[in-house]
A and B are shown apart, each in its own frame.
Chain A
């Protein structure tokens, strides 16, 4: 079974530029998450999708961040314009819609963003 795919793995941009990250979750997983992990900290949830609907985006800086999950499969996270403090690893995760399960998240390898 293929895992969560993310691209690009690394991206370097200058402040005020824009960037987009792509995520393809595990096949059949209804829930998709984008987490931001700043160096030395734990992951922080930015946005959570259930199929193609947003269920939690309370910590997404909506003035500069946007995300979509068209057709309820893959997702794109965009930052425009980027700030220095957006330098982080952006982790995509997915989980099956299984109320009887543990709620374990399956993570991709992450996209490391450096803003200069």
Chain B
């Protein structure tokens, strides 16, 4: 079963507008973490923002904020004031514990964001 679901294969937004990228997750572990990474066409994965399952407030990092709705198991990324350089693939990921006690990140399929001038 897919643990991270990103239902939007592609999104378009006008420059300077805000955009929301959807992410839902599935876990039975009460302690988990949620991440968003950006992957430009050059290929590197850039960490954007993190939300812990016990964090009371939604995470924010500059123009990025995470709309965390724990009961609905959703962790949507909001990008405010979009810029042309925001055009990239965006991946939602969840930190989960393995049977051996270690932790790993499981990624969704990604959303391709295109910012139009």
**Chain A contact residues, CB within 8 Å of chain B:** 31, 33, 40-45, 48, 50, 55-56, 89, 91, 93, 102-110, 112
Residue of B nearest to A107 (CB): B45
CB-based contact B100/A42 at 8 Å: no
CA distance A44 to B95 in the complex (A): 13
Counting chain B residues whose Cβ lies within 8 A of the other chain, the interface size class is: 20 to 34
Measured between beta carbons, the chain B residues less than 8 angstroms from A112 are 43
CA distance A78 to B37 in the complex (A): 27
Main secondary structure of the interface of A (DSSP, over half): strand
Measured between beta carbons, the chain A residues less than 8 angstroms from B102 are 31, 48, 50, 55-56
Min CB distance A104 to B, Å, is 6
Task: Answer whether A103 and B105 are a contact pair too, CB < 8 Å, given A43-B91, A56-B98, A56-B100.
Answer: yes
The number of A-B residue pairs with CB atoms under 8 Å apart is 60
CA distance A33 to B104 in the complex (A): 9
Q: Is B68 part of the contact surface with A, judged by Cβ < 8 Å?
A: no
Measured between beta carbons, the chain A residues less than 8 angstroms from B108 are 42
CA distance A108 to B32 in the complex (A): 24
CB-based contact B104/A48 at 8 Å: yes
**A43 in complex: contacting residue of B33, B45, B95, CB < 8 Å:** B45
Q: Is B56 part of the contact surface with A, judged by Cβ < 8 Å?
A: no
Residue of B nearest to A35 (CB): B107
> 0/1 per residue, B33-52, Cβ < 8 Å to A?
10101000011110100101
27 A-B residue pairs with CB within 8 Å: A33-B104, A33-B105, A40-B109, A41-B110, A42-B91, A42-B107, A42-B108, A42-B109, A43-B91, A43-B107, A45-B104, A48-B104, A50-B102, A55-B98, A56-B98, A56-B100, A56-B102, A91-B45, A102-B52, A103-B33, A104-B35, A104-B50, A105-B45, A105-B47, A107-B45, A109-B44, A110-B44
